Each structure stands twice: as structure tokens, then as C-alpha cells.
Amino acid sequence: MKIIICNSTLEMAEKVQSLILNIIKDNKQPVLGLATGSTPLLTYELLVKDYEDNKTSWKNVITFNLDEYYGLEKNHEQSYRYYMNKNLFKHINIKLENTNIPYGVGDSDLIAKRYEDLIVALGPIDLQLLGLGTNGHIGFNEPGTNFDSLTHVVQLKNQTRNDNARFFNNDPDKVPTEAITMGIKTILNCKKIVLLASGNAKAEAVYNLINSKPSTDWPCTALQKHKDITIILDQEAASLLKSN
Ligand code: F6R
């Protein structure tokens, strides 16, 4: 486990940008695993800027997003499909048909199974980008999720719905109750993992990710088993590491 503590969110994003660009340049058909939420936004901004300035080609890149809310149509402004198109895909030369995000409407178990099958068919994922929930979730694998889980349907915990209420007019009741997410095993199957966490609210989860015995109480502790994981933090997210 490699841990990098940065002085700013820009420094964090620059590090991830360069890791992602390396994967794109080093592979004929790179497969990237992407995350949504606030944390990777600056990274996507830098990747768009790189495309504008340097024309790094995304023509052969395949992407798989970690998760999607269940019950939101693709054009819903809070769907993760909408987020990815808006913040990354429409600004670069990726083929939209090569971008994969679980579809949030329909037979959710079937959607999850087909998504996992597609990852197996087109994978393995060369680099999976992860954020971190305040409760230690990765993807939407909430506390209690089995470490052997593949892509599946989850009930979102109240803590997650409260955390994400900021995207839904600050009303936790408007946050969907379910999501489809890559499982913990799906994530562990990726060749390289890069986890980003910033801010004080993530400090406890970061502490447990690094120091606690693997336990489903903190889903992020499953990552300790992975052979190639880089954790990129700001000072606040790393604050409990120093005092312990
Ligand atoms: C998003 C995802 C989630 C987020 C996590 C942190 O695709 O899978 O695990 O990474 O909830 O979200 P932010 O970055 O908004 O704090």
C-alpha cells in the first residue's frame, strides 16, 4: 500500500491525472474504472485540460464506472451517467459506446449480472479510481458487504444518503434508497487501484482503511489485500494517521 499525502487538492488531482495518462499511453486498449462524487471532479477537469492542450487520445479507452443510483433515468441531473457525460466524456474523444455505467432503470439484478459479465469480458480494469465514503464505503459497498461480492444491488445507508443530500437540494429523502455497484471482489480484481480522499470528514475512514483489521464494518479495509494500491490524501484526510 503506497500512501501519498499532498498539500492541496490540486496536487492530489495532478498525481491521479498523471497515473491515468500513463495507463492511457501505455496500453493499446486501456480499461479505466471511474468514480463520481465530489472528490474526482478536479481530476476530470485536469484530464479535459490535458485533452485540450495535448490531445491525448481517448479513442481506444474503455471505461467502467463504479456505480449508479437505482431509479434515476440517464438524463436525470444527479444520475452518474449525466455526471460523467457532463464532467468528462463530452469534452474528450472517447466513444460513448465504450463508456459503461450500470443502467439505473429496469431489472436491477439482471443489470448487475450483465455489468459484471461485461467487466469480465472486456477487463481486467487496468486502473480503478476510488473515492471513500465517510462510513468507509468503496463504490456503494456499504458496511456489512461481503468481501466476495460482485456487482450487485445495494440499499444505501442513511449516513450515505445524508452525505449525498447536498446534491439533492439538501433533502436526504430525495436521495435514492438503492444503487447498483461493482462489488468488493470486482474492485479487488482490478490491476491497479488509486483511492482519493480529502477533508476532515474522511479522516476516520482513512484511519480505519490503513490501520484496522479487515472487517466488513469498514468495507475499505478489504483494500489491504490488494497488491497495487495507491492512496492519495490531503492533510485533513490524513490527520488521524499522524497522531497515531
Ligand atoms: C462514487 C462512489 C462513492 C464515492 C464516495 C465519496 O462513484 O462510488 O464511493 O466515491 O461516496 O464521495 P465524495 O467524493 O462525494 O465525497
Using one digit for the tens of pLDDT, what is the confidence trace for 108-132?
Answer: 999 999 999 999 999 999 999 999 9
130 CA to centre of ligand 1 in angstroms = 7
Residue 219 CB–ligand 1 contact under 6 Å: no
Whether this model's pTM surpasses 0.75: yes
What is the helix, strand, coil percentage profile of the chain, to 5?
A: 40, 20, 40
For a ligand 1 pocket test, name from 129, 130, 132, 145 the mutation site with the most ligand atoms within 8 angstroms of its C-beta.
Answer: 132
Q: From ligand 1's centre to the CA of 24, what distance in Å?
A: 23
pLDDT > 90 in the chain, percent: 99
Q: How high is the pLDDT of residue 192? A: 98
> CA–CA separation, 226 vs 193, rounded Å?
8
Query: What span, in angstroms and rounded, lies between the C-alpha atoms of 181 and 151?
Result: 5
- Of 149, 152, 214, 218, nearest to 185 (Cα)? 149
pLDDT on residue 156: 96
Ligand 1 atom with the smallest distance to the CA of 138 is 9
243: burial class by Cβ within 10 Å (0-12, 13-18, 19+)? exposed
Is the predicted pLDDT of residue 242 greater than 90, yes or no? no
pLDDT at site 41: 98
Q: Dig out the grid coordinates for 237 from the structure.
A: 484526510
Among protein residues, the one with the nearest Cα to ligand 1's atom 8 is 139
Write down the pLDDT at residue 243. Answer: 55
Question: Average per-residue pLDDT in the chain?
Answer: 97
For residue 239, the cross-strand partners are: none
> Which residues lie across from 155 on neighbouring strands?
178
Output the pLDDT for position 49.
Answer: 98
With a CB cutoff of 8 Å and minimum separation 6, the contacts of 160 are 133, 135, 137, 140, 142, 175
Tell me if 34 sits within 8 A of 84, measured CB to CB: yes
- pLDDT tens-digit series, residues 208-241: 999 999 999 999 999 999 999 999 999 999 999 9
pLDDT value at position 244? 46
37 lines ligand 1 (CB under 6 A): yes
